[in-house]
Each structure stands twice: as structure tokens, then as C-alpha cells.
Structure 1
Amino acid sequence: MSRVSVGTKRLLLGRPFRSDTSGDSPLRKRIALPVFASDALSSVAYAPEEIFLILSLAGMSALVFTPWVGLAVAGVMVVVIACYRQNVRAYPSGDGDYEVATVNLGPNAGLGVGAALLIDYVLTVAVSISAAAANIGSAIPFVYSNEVVFAVIAIVLLTAINLRGIRESRAMFAIPVYAFMAAMTALVVWGLFQVDVLDRDLRAESADFELVTPDGVAVAGLALAFVVAKSFASGCAALTGVEAIHNGVPAFRSPRARNAATTLVMLGVVSISFLLGLIVLANKLGVQIAEDPAAQLIGAPEDYHQKTMIAQLADPVFAGLPVAFYVIMTITTLILVLAANTAFNGFPVLASVLARDKYLPRQLATRGDRLAFSNGIVLLAIAAIVLVVAFDAQVTVLIQLYIVGVFVAFTLSQLGMVRHWTRRLETEEAPAVRRRVQRARAVNAVGFVLTSGVLVIVMSTKFFAGAYIAVLAMLAVFGVMKLIKRHYESVARELEDSSWEVVLPSRTHCVVLVSKLHLPTLRALAYARATRPDTIEALTVNIETAETRVLVREWERRRISVPLKVVESPYREINRPVVDYVKRLRDQSPRDVVIVYIPEYVVGHWWEQLLHNQSALRLKTRLLYERGVMVTSVPWQLSSSDGRAEQARDEPIIGRWGAPEDR
């Protein structure tokens, strides 16, 4: 790598870290909550809005179901948190649902969880950043007009930050999360206080519009039930991120499992309070969110820009303090960006675990200069940008794909925990312990039934709306990981074949490739002779007869002792004549080893690589497929490379070894 490249890398990523500096200090609960809960907390910025939006498909009368849908989502969250309190105690290693499913249900189930979570992490970035763009766009019209650009830039910045490795105290992450909690508390409490205690007539900007169905036809019966179920499925996006605390158990202070379980309860209380509080306040202020505002909101201006629910609530609640509106929208945007950042922590770690188990390329298990899993970070960023651009940064569309993966993981994890407790009961004899295990199994059994039921609702209501894309992606990732695992196992069996006997070659035959007689050729000749082979010869391909004659004459004039062989190439190819010649050597003496020396230039600039070495690279690649043939590259550092000064000291030696008869 050139000095310019190294300098640029250091400027962007910083200096490398030693491997022994990778440890993080254990976290207290008050710090662990914001560090691991930003994803789950941020979902209240869009989950209530999605409930209102889906119910709008059935008209204004359907909004009466919003509190009940919110309560149903809250009920599911209570059960899931109770289940994950069991998970963190039984499996505190940090491998999360992947470990639970693999240990109790087998590798295929674990792989299914891994595939689901990988897709879920990608969607977490896409949804969170798109929601951040929508929220800041509600305050800044310029961003609203360029949401995709804003989202892509935000992902690129997050990628750069994570590639540098976030070494600062994790307490820094607590500030924006607690600021968001304070902002949401102020919004809900002050809004309800004004409406219920001060009896003020607060109205959202959309409250005076008439909400109709997209086609103007009333929705009732089974169609209404379907819309309500779909709104419940969208609202369950509020559960995303709950599993992050299970994955982060090793980061807690001792007793780790108990502290993680307590943090889960804290997360549940805060998330449910915000979810229900925002829904109640939105109903009191008459907030209306439409999938197609132009068609569904009668009375709205032609240039009406539908703002997010948070924006529609903050504007009237803090009408007397306009700066508070911008503060809340900024904090909401920041918490959504932090939620995306949790995926930049979770995806590379999960990918490294899967790579460790040989389900993904091993490069994903390697840490970069800054001790971050750089390859996983870049892969996540590329996938998220593709989704954001493909779906135009529309949160509603991305939500259709989002929660499939997380509920697949929830369901398999709870089934695995039921199996875990059942196995414990088979060996446990103490009555008190058995009762405790039976209670734990009952909790996880309820969790399995509930999460699988939600998964069925999600699939039945969202499959053709976009969930099928997530399903196909998970199946594709699952299949690719199975193939990678099979490949690694096949290679391992091949390399560990105990029946293979090491037989030394009878003789060593060296072939030095020559294009012209210059210093790189002389160095290759010197190095080949230094290995003391049984036979050695130089080989050139006759492409241009005149040039070949000049080379032969110069070779003879300098009386180089290594014989020069000329092979014909009537079709002006280089690779085929050389490969055919080497094959003939092997056919004549199958037990001999042939070593081919190829002079190569070492360049200092990327563009120089395009001008040199192309023939050598192609020939080397072709020769690597020949059995009994070794390929040795002999480097020659050009003046643009860093090694030129050291090479200058070797040139006299090259001259003496390459043409001893000239002395």
C-alpha cells in the first residue's frame, strides 16, 4: 500500500489499536439501559404512527381501535420481556437467540435465527434512518425534499464512525437516550396536563381534515378485522430491539444476568409508557396519519406535507415555545440514528459468530485496525443503502419487511427455551428447583404460543405487502450459509486426509520466464540459481521475431550460462505456449517438480498496476491449476515504491549472479 493510501486510511480511520486494548468496562444498569435500549425505545417514534396509518385504511371510524391495538402490543411486550428475563439467566454468554436455538433445537434452527437476525439488523438501519429523515424532515422542509440523500449520508457517516471504532466511554450514549426519554415524558405529560387539567383545546394540524378510505368505500366485517390485525402487526415494531439486552449480557456488571433482567423490566416500563401515552395523546389531539394524504385527507391543502406523529403532537403541545418543537424533533432524530448504530454493533458481532462457526466467510470474523469487525460493518452499510434507495426511504413500506425476522427469532428462541427447561426437569430432583424450572418453562411456553401467533398474523397480513421480500431474503441467506458451511467442511476433510503420504520429488526443474534482458530478469535468474535446482533454463515466447532475435543475440553476447529456450506462438499468445511447455516437462518426468519464476514489478501507485504485470498475473493464475508446478514471483520494486532504496543495495549482487561470465 502506498504512503498516500496509508495516510488517507489513517486520516479517516485513525491509528490502529493493539489487540490487548479491546476490553470495555462493565456497565451499570443506568448506563446499560440507554446503551442497549436505544433501538427498542426509538421504535415509539414510529410504531404508534404506523398503527394510526394502517387503521386509516378503514376510515376515521377505525381510529377508535387505536388504544386497544396499543394495549395488545403492550401485552405482547410484557410477555416477551418476561421470556427474555429467562433467556438472559439461562444463556448469559452474549450469543443470544442464535445460541439458544442452536443448543436446544439444532444447527438448522440456529442458522434460521441467524439468517433472520442478519436481515433484521439490515432493516433496523434502513427503518431507523428513514424514520430519522422523516422526523427531521417534518421540521426542516429541505430534508423532506431530499430524504433519500439524507438517509444515505447518515448511513455513510455511521459506517465511518464505526470503522474508526467507538472507543469513548459508553456513558456518552446515555446522554441522547435520556434526553429522548425526558423529551417524550415532557411531551406526553405536558400535553395531557393541558388537555385534561387546564382544559385547553389543543388540536393537531390534521385534526380538522376528514379522513376517508383510499377508495371512498366503507370498510366493515372481515375487511375491518383484517385492517385491525394489520395495524397490530405494524405496531409490534415496538418490540424490535428487546433482544439487544440478551446479546449484551457480558457487558453488564456482576451479577450480569440479574442486572440484565432488571434492565429488561426498566426497558419494558419505559417503552410501554411512551407507546400508550403517545397513542392517548394523539387521540385527544385528533392526529390523523394517512397512507395517501392527497386522496384520504379531505380538506388538506394541495401542497400539504404530512408530518410525523411526533411532529404533529409537539407543535400544538409546545405552541408557546417554538424552540421546544425543534429540540424534540432533533432529539427524536438522534435517538433513531443511535438505534441504527445498535445494528452496526450487533450485525458485525453476529456475523463474526456465524463466521467462527464456518457459516459465513472467515473474513467477517477478523477485526480491523481499530478492533472493529470492519468487513461486517461495510457489508451492513451496503445492504442498508440498497434498501433505502430501493424503497425511497419510506418507513411505511420498509415496516412491511421489518418485523418478520425478529418474530422468527423470538419464536424459535422461546421454543428452544421450552426444550431447555424440559431437559432440566429430566435431571433435576430437588422439589424447590423443579417448581422454579416449571414456572420458567410455563413463561417461555406462553411466549412461544404468543410470538408464533403474532408471526402468523404478521405473515397473513403483510406477506403480499412486502413481507415476502424479507422471507425470500432470509431463505437465501440461510441457503448461502449452508453452502458455505458445506464448502468449509469439504475443504477441511480434504486437507486432513491421513492417507496422503509425503513423497519428495525426484528432481527440481526451474524455468525462468524472460520477456527481455533487464534487471528484473537478472534478479529472477539469480534467485533461481540460488535455490540450487537440478536443472534450470530460461524460457521466452516468440511473439515478435525481430525482438526475439535481439534477445537471443544479447543473451549469447553476455554469455549467460543459463540456457535460453524459445517457444513459438503462431497466434501471438503467451499463456498457452508456456503452459503447454510446462505440461510437457511434467509429462516427461511426472515425479519431478517444476518451479516457474516470474519477474513482477512492485509499483507505488494504483494506476501503475493497470500498466504493468497483467500478463504475469494471468499466467500465474493459469499455472496454479497445474499439478506438480510451483509458481514463484520475483519482485522488482520500481522507483515509485517504498522498497526502491533497499533494492539498490542488492543490484550489484544481482549483476554478479545473473551474468557471472561478464566479470
Structure 2
Amino acid sequence: MGVGDVSKRILLGRKLRSAQLGETLLPKRIALPVFASDALSSVAYAPDEVFIMLAIAGAAQYVWSWKVGIAVVLVMAAVIASYRQTVHAYPSGGGDYEVATVNLGRTAGMTVASALLVDYVLTVAVSISAGANYAASAIPSFQHHEATVAVVMVLLLVAINLRGIRESGSFFAVPTYLFMFAILGMCAWGFLEMGTGTLPMAESASLEITPKEGWEEPLTTFGLIILLARAFSSGCAALTGVEAISNGVPAFRRPKSRNAATTLLMLGMIAATMMMSVIVLAKQMGVRYVDPHELERLTRDGVPLPEGYDQHAIIAQIADAVFHDFSPGFYFVVVVTGVILVLAANTAFNGFPVLGSILAKDGLAPRALGARGDRLAYSNGIVFLAAMAIVLILAFDAETTKLIQLYIVGVFVSFNLSQLGMIRHWSRHLATERDPAERRRMIRSRAINAVGLSLTAVVLVVVLLTKFLAGAWITVLAMAFFFAVMRAIKGHYDHVERELAADETDKALPTRVHAIVLVSKLHKPTLRALAFAKATRPNALEGVYVSVDERETARLMEEWDDRNTGVPLKVLHSPYREVVRPIVEYATAIRQANPRGVVAVYIPEYVVGRWWEQLLHNQTALRLKGRLLFTPGVMVTSVPYQLRSSEIAAEREAREEHRVRPGDLRRGRVDERRDRQVPR
């Protein structure tokens, strides 16, 4: 086993057989934190965004906060109800993409796919950047290095997810459940204090908020509508991540659809309860919260706050007040909130690779995205997502306030097309269904999707109107870029398929086969290549040697005559000491002299067993093969010669393969390995 294999085994664990795919499927208790961490983590910043938007016109507008929260929850309920229909109708894991493609056509499906790809990348970038900023506020040495910290966090998540969805799910389950316990416990205690009349005020309750320029006058009806629309669109960040479950249905245990639908329902109930609890408590405790870049709008008794004032997040302010006599409770809430912001990116690391694999099967993405790795995860998709997220993090220097403006647009585009596709799906089936009970169920499902479409369409319009100039235009451009790339990839694969299609001309045999064996020295690899070439019975056979030194050439020709191989030796003189070019030009000349013939080039190669030996051998052969592959009518054949180190490596690999490892007896693999023991 080489150094690379050892490192890979340490980082990722043992390889898993394809037959063990069932062992990686998730029960509901693990699937909830795996697929819901993104949606649940939005509780840490969605209320903040609502209060920031309302604060534009002053703290008096906080009276609308709980009403905005209810509007967001209603949209969330409609979306979750709609997606419960989707996971039952399309359990293969395509989610919005499959629904749109099947019911609305390829263009709609590609639009949804581009929106989801952008949203997944933004999920990682926003969540990790928020976690990095949270870490920088707690650890001073991280300040001004947030981008570096974020990149390290992304790489850590990559390593965890490459170990497989089951192991990564177990890793993320505990923090996610701790976050739910912390927020719900904090809110329950706060409501208990509110019921007994002992609810304390937040640390910022004594502050005043100066309205932004242009919002100082009393609001008109139109101005109020604009303000509430902006607050509502920002609060809809709480819906990001809801679609991940519909894309990850194949990762659930059977019955997959039912388990996915149940997990969706649990997610909706928990997220709605947490968000509304935080908003109501923040309003009752007098929280004052503005854009972190506009702290000068906060005053106390008309006096600006001192330089360097630290505005704590809403959840931190609530926890500080609720647990004023119990500091461990405050630190517990703050710590798990920071952790969940980082782990929220795991939702994207589970949804993106599955979507990428489906796009690869449909020819819309590189086929490498459809290949499972050693741990049965879609490793290439995980690495690709991480790379794009890192680029985004570095480009925006891990500033969450800039990245958050890019959010939401993509996910609501997919919401709308998915709901429209589901309406078409039910209408098509109703045209042929005759069973009354089944028709009633389909009509009910179509009505649910129609309500979902109506609400998500309104939200998309509001989001585009309120966020387009603030940065959402970048998301639209990114979606257009992915759409164009997918169309180009599909066109390339279709073109290649047409070009490779067999026809009658492919039955014609070459008129002549001219074989050449490349010679560097007259040793065992060369003699083996000559013997193999003779066995193929070509029309012409010759050895080819590139002369760069006259004495070496004379010695080789003498050895060639003494050996009497029965094969003529062609010497190509190279005054500029090039090796590859003369051979390519010679093979090309032979092909041009007989266009319907074939030139077969046999290259002797050493097979070595150690990684560092690869650097010392076969470099010229690699360059030569790379050039000859682009030469029409030239066939390249490698003739391997195994050195002793390769035999040792093969024996070591065989012993490793059949070695009984810890846990094999429990898994029932010992007898299987004994049956396959290789005699020494």
C-alpha cells in the first residue's frame, strides 16, 4: 500500500463495497440533523434580518415583527406541505430538478438545477463565513483572518463528508440536537418568565434607533408596504434548505418517501416554533438591532454609543437576559449556535453531490460527478462544491453581510418551477385516473401545490424587487452561467455520441498494419515487446531507435546484429536530442504513405511498486503516448515488464486485502475472506 493509500485510509477510513450501500442509509433520527441543519440554523440569522429591515424606519416598526414572522411561517408551511407531495411522487432524489424536467421540459429542469447549484454553494459560503465571523468575535487571534478560518472549516467538512453520509450524519447529529434543545429550552424559559411577569429586558432595550436617511418622516401606506416587503423577503432566508430533503430521498431508509415526508414535517414544526419564539421574545424584551455597518444609528439618551461598541446577535441578547443568573446557560446557547452555523453547510454537502450525480447521468454535468468514492459518497461532487465555496469565500473575504444578499433568489426560483411542475404532474395523472379515492387524493395534492406556487411566486417577486440591486443580480448571473455550462456540456456529450455511433464503414479492415517497437536498449522489456509484436502478425515490423549519441547508437546496432532478432532496426537521427518528435513524425509519415493502413506502436514500460519509482521511470513513454494519441491512424500499445518491486507491492496488497480487521467477525466477513485466501 503506497503513501497515498495509507493517507487516504487514515482520513477516510476503509473502503466500502457497493453491496454495503444499504449500510450507509439514514434513519429519521439521523436524517433530520443531516438534511435540516441548514433550515434550522437560519433561526440564528433570519430573525436578525427581519429586525434589521424594520429598524430602517426606527424601533417603532418592531411592532410588525411577529406579523412578518407569521407570514414567513405560512409560506414555510405551504412549501413543506408541497414538498411532502414531491417526495411521494418523485422518490428518486431528483427533487425540484426531476419535477421540472419531467413536467415542464429540459429547459425548466436546467433552470432549476442552476438555481439549486448556486444555492448550495451559497449555503456553504454563508454558513461557513458566519461561523468564521462568530469564531473571530470569540477568539481575538482570528480577527482579520476570517477568510482563512472559513477555508479551513470547509476543508474539515470535506474530510468528514468524504467518510460517507452515515458517518458524517452521526457526527452532525449531536450538535444539531443540542442546538434545538438550547433554543427551545431558552425560549420556553423566557415564556415562563413572561407568564410570571419576571421577563427581563435585553441589554439593548435602553437604546434608541435613528431611522435611515429618507425614512425619518411618518410612513405612508406605500412606504409601510415597502418596509414590510423588505423585512419579509429577508425573513424568508428561514426557508433555505427546505428543498434538500426532496433531493436526498435516496439516502433515507425504507420506506424512503414516508420517512422523508415525516422528516420534512418535523423540520417545519421545529423551525417554525423556534423562529416565532425568538421573534416574539425579542419583541417583548425590547431588543434593538441594526445593520452591523450602521451602528452609528444606535444612541442612548440621544448620545452616540462609544467607539467599538459590540452589538450582540439577537439570540445572544435573549440568552444573556433569560439566563442572567445562570451564565452556563448563556454560554451553552451561544456556543451551539456558533457551531450550528458552521454545520449548516453539511446540508449542501449532502444535497449537492446527489444533484450532481443526477445531472451527470442526464449528460448535463461531467460524468465524474456521478461516480461514488471509496466510502460510497459522491466524492467528486463534495470536492467540487468545496472548491466553488472556497472561491466565493475568498472573493467576498468571508463577509456574511455581503454574501447574504445573494441568498434566497435561487431557492425560490426552484420552489416556483417545482410547484408548477407538480401541478402539471397531478393534472396529467387526473386525466387517466378513474378511481374516485385516488382522484380525491390527487385533487387535494394539486390544491396544496397550487397554494404553494401562489405564495412562492409572490415571495420571488418581492425578493427580486427588494434585493436585486443589493447583490441578488450576482446570483442571477451565476444561474445564467451554470445554465450555459450545462447546455454546453449536454451539447458536447450529444456531439460525441453522434460522432461515435457505429456505421457500415466501421466494418472495413485496415489494408496494412505497420508495427514499430520503440527501442532504448536491447534488454528484457524490449525483447518482450518484440515477441508480442511478432505474435500479432503485422504486415511489417521494425524496431525504432532515436539516436542522440553516436557511440550509444553504434553499441546498440552491434548488440542488435549479435542478437539476431530477425527484426530490422530503424535509426532516427535527432541532431537536437529530441526523442518524442522524431518518433511522432516517423509514425505520421508511415500513415500518410498508406492512409488506409494502421501504424501500431509498441512501447516497453517498467511496472514498479513504489510511488517514488514512478518518478524515475516511464516519463518519456508518458509524453510519447500523449502525443501519439492525437495522431490519426496510430495505435499505441504498452507492453509492461514487471520489476521485482511490483511483485512485492502486489503480495503486500493481497495480504492487506485478506487480513482480518477489527469488526470483521461481527459483520460476518471473516468466512468470506478465508474462502478467498490466496496461497503463498
TM-score for the superposition, normalised by structure 1? 0.88
- Relative to structure 1, the CA distance from residue 224 to residue 556 in structure 2 (aligned partners, 3 Å threshold; closer, same or farther) is farther
Cα deviation code 1:345-385 (max 9, x no counterpart):
11111111111112112111111111111111111111112
Deviation at 1:572, TM superposition (A): 4.6
- Decide whether the 8 Å contact of 1:287 with 1:312 is kept in 2: no
CA–CA separation in structure 1 for the residues paired with 2:122 and 2:44: 16
| Residue 87 (structure 2) aligns with | 88
CA contact (8 A) 1:293 1:306 kept: no
Partner Cα distance (1:605, 1:527) in 2: 26
Instruction: Tell me the CA shift for residue 451 of structure 1.
Output: 0.9
2:455 to 437, 450, 454: 450
Deviates more, 1:131-140 or 1:230-239: 131-140
Residue of structure 1 in register with 2:237 after alignment: 237
Percent of paired sites with the same residue: 57
Residues 274-304 of structure 1: per-residue CA shift (max 9 Å, x gap) = 1111112222332313231443334333223
Q: Residues 295 and 612 (structure 1 numbering): CA distance in 2 closer, same or farther, change over 3 Å?
A: farther
Report matched runs for 1:358-397 at 5 Å: 358-397=363-402
Could you list the per-position Cα deviations for residues 15-72 of structure 1 after superposition, in whole angstroms to 9, with x for gaps in the alignment? 1111111104876655554443222111111111122223334444443432232222
Residue number in structure 1 paired with 2:270: 270
- Residue in 1 that maps onto 2:10: 11
Q: Residue in 1 aligned with 2:513?
A: 508
Does residue 280 in structure 1 map to residue 285 in structure 2?
A: no
Q: How many residues align?
A: 644
Say if 2:572 is the partner of 1:567.
yes
Residue 422 to residue 289, structure 1, CA distance change in 2 (3 Å): same
- Tell me what 2:205 maps to: 207
1:595 to 596, 600, 605: 600
Alpha carbons of structure 1 residues 292 and 169: separation in structure 2 relative to 1, 3 Å: closer
After TM superposition, give the deviation of residue 464 of structure 1 in Å.
2.3
Structure 1 spans left out of the alignment, 5+ residues: 647-663
Which amino acid is 1:287 matched to? R
Alignment partner of 1:582 is 2:590 = no
TM-score, normalised by the number of residues in structure 2: 0.86
Whether the 8 Å contact between 2:100 and 2:418 is mirrored in structure 1 is yes
CA distance in 2, matches of 1:272, 1:161: 29
* Aligned mates of 1:250, 1:522 — CA distance in 2: 54
Aligned to 1:305: 310
Amino acid at match of 1:231: A
Query: Residue 20 and residue 587 in structure 1: after superposition, are their counterparts in 2 closer, same or farther (change >3 A)?
Result: same
538-547 or 165-174: bigger deviation: 165-174
Alignment partner of 1:462: what SS?
Answer: helix
SS of corresponding position for 1:500: helix
Q: Distance in 2 between matches of 1:582 and 1:484?
A: 33
| Secondary structure of the structure 2 residue equivalent to 1:202 | coil
1:489-500 map, 5 Å: 489-500=494-505
CA distance in 1, matches of 2:477, 2:612: 41
**Match of 1:329?**
334
- 538-547 vs 323-332, which deviates more? 538-547
The change in CA–CA distance for 1:36 and 1:608 in structure 2 (over 3 A counts) is same
Task: Give the Å deviation of 1:575.
Answer: 3.5
Q: Are the counterparts in 2 of residues 53 and 291 from structure 1 also a CA contact under 8 Å?
A: no
Distance 1:201 1:216 in 2: 34
The residue type equivalent to 1:207 in the other structure is A
Q: Which amino acid aligns with 1:15?
A: R
CA distance in 1 between counterparts of 2:25 and 2:371 reads 24
Match for 2:591: what amino acid? R
- Counterpart in the other structure of 2:290: 289
Q: Which has the higher mean CA deviation after the structures are superposed, 136-145 or 188-197?
A: 136-145
Whichever residue aligns with residue 289 of structure 2, its letter is Q
What CA deviation, in whole Å up to 9, does each residue of 1:407-441 have, x standing for no partner?
11100000001111221232234555444433332
Q: Please give the alpha-carbon distance, in whole angstroms, between the structure 2 residues aligned to 1:280 and 1:167.
A: 37
The one-character-per-residue Cα deviations of 1:84-136 (angstroms, maximum 9, x if unpaired) are: 23223322333211221111111221222122112211211222222333444
Q: Which amino acid aligns with 1:459?
A: L
In the TM superposition, residue 500 of structure 1 has moved relative to its aligned partner by 3.0
Structure 2 counterpart SS, 1:370: coil
SS at match of 2:637: strand
The one-letter code sitting in structure 2 at the alignment partner of 1:278 is: V
Offset from partner CA, 1:464-522 (integer Å, 9 cap, x none): 22212222222211221222222222222233333334223344322122344455444
In the alignment, the residues of structure 2 paired with residue 563 and residue 542 of structure 1 have an alpha-carbon distance, to the nearest angstrom, of 16
> Aligned partner of 1:114: which letter?
A
Q: Give the 3 Å change call, closer, same or farther, for CA 315–134 of structure 1 in structure 2.
A: farther
Correspondence for 1:658 = none
Indicate the SS of the match to 2:546: strand
Report the AA paired with residue 343 of structure 1: A
Shift of 1:457: 1.6
Q: Measure, in 1, the Cα distance between the counterparts of 2:640 and 2:435.
A: 71
Counterparts of 1:80-119 in structure 2, within 5 Å, are 80-119=79-118
Tell me the distance in 2 between the aligned counterparts of 1:71 and 1:474: 30
Provide closer, same or farther for how the CA distance between residues 170 and 341 of structure 1 changes in structure 2, counting only shifts above 3 A: closer
Comparing 469-478 and 594-603, the one that deviates more? 594-603
Partner of residue 325 from structure 2, selected from 312, 320, 333:
320
Instruction: Map residues 26-45 of structure 1 onto 2, 5 A cutoff.
Output: 32-45=31-44
Could you say which residue in structure 1 is the equivalent of 2:655? none
Letter of the structure 2 residue corresponding to residue 280 of structure 1: V
1:593 Cα deviation after fit: 2.3
Match of 2:538 among 533, 539, 554: 533
Return 628-637 or 358-367, whichever deviates more. Answer: 628-637
Aligned partners of 2:610 and 2:649 also within 8 Å? no
Structure 1 residues 574-583 or 132-141, which shifts more? 132-141
Give a deviation string over 1:286-341, Cα, whole Å, max 9, x none: 23132314433343332233332222221222121111122112222333333211
Tell me the distance in 2 between the aligned counterparts of 1:495 and 1:441: 44
Distance in structure 2 (CA, Å) of the matches to 1:28 and 1:3? 36
Structure 1 residue 244: Cα displacement: 2.7
| Partner amino acid, structure 2, of 1:584 | A
- How far the C-alpha of 1:603 sits from its partner, in A, is 5.3
Distance between the aligned counterparts of 1:556 and 1:259, measured in 2? 77
Q: Name the aligned partner's letter for residue 382 of structure 2.
A: I
Map of 1:66-215 to 2, 5 A cutoff?
66-143=65-142, 146-168=145-167, 173-204=172-203, 206-213=204-211
For 1:396 and 1:483, the matched residues in 2 are separated by 34
Q: Using a 3 Å threshold, how does the CA distance of structure 1 residues 12 and 456 change in structure 2: closer, same or farther?
A: same
Provide the C-alpha distance between the structure 2 equivalents of 1:405 and 1:607, rounded to a whole number of angstroms. 47
Bigger mean CA deviation after superposition, 265-274 or 295-304: 295-304
- Partner Cα separation in structure 2 for residue 590 and residue 400 of structure 1: 61
Query: Do the aligned partners of residues 9 and 269 (structure 1) sit closer, same or farther apart at CA in structure 2, a change above 3 Å counting?
Result: closer
- Structure 2 stretches of 5 or more lacking a match? 652-680
Distance 1:262 1:640, change over 3 A: closer
Change (3 A) 1:184 1:338: same
Amino acid of the structure 1 residue aligned with 2:149: F
Partner Cα separation in structure 2 for residue 594 and residue 528 of structure 1: 12
Paired residues of 2:247 and 2:355 also in contact (CA < 8 A): no
**Superposition deviation, residue 236 in structure 1:** 0.6
Q: Superposed, which structure 2 residues align to 1:413-452 within 5 Å? A: 413-452=418-457
Closer, same or farther in 2 for the Cα pair 1:592/1:500, shift >3 Å?
Answer: closer
Aligned to 2:667: none
Q: 1:1-24: CA deviations, max 9, x gaps?
A: x62222122122221111111104
Matched to 2:205, the amino acid is: A
Change in 2 beyond 3 A, CA 1:573/1:171: closer
The amino acid across from 1:23 in the alignment is G
Bigger mean CA offset, 218-227 vs 320-329: 218-227
Q: Distance in 2 between matches of 1:203 and 1:567?
A: 87
User: 1:644 and 1:371, CA in 2 relative to 1: closer, same or farther beyond 3 A?
Assistant: closer
Between the aligned partners of 1:68 and 1:103, the Cα distance in structure 2 is: 38
Q: Specify whether residues 562 and 396 from structure 1 end up closer, same or farther in structure 2 by C-alpha distance, changes over 3 A only.
A: same
1:156-199 superposed Cα distances (whole Å, 9 cap, x missing partner): 11111111224449567544333222211122222233345233
Within the candidate set 216, 223, 228, 1:218 is matched to 216
Between 563-572 and 121-130, the greater mean CA deviation after superposition: 563-572
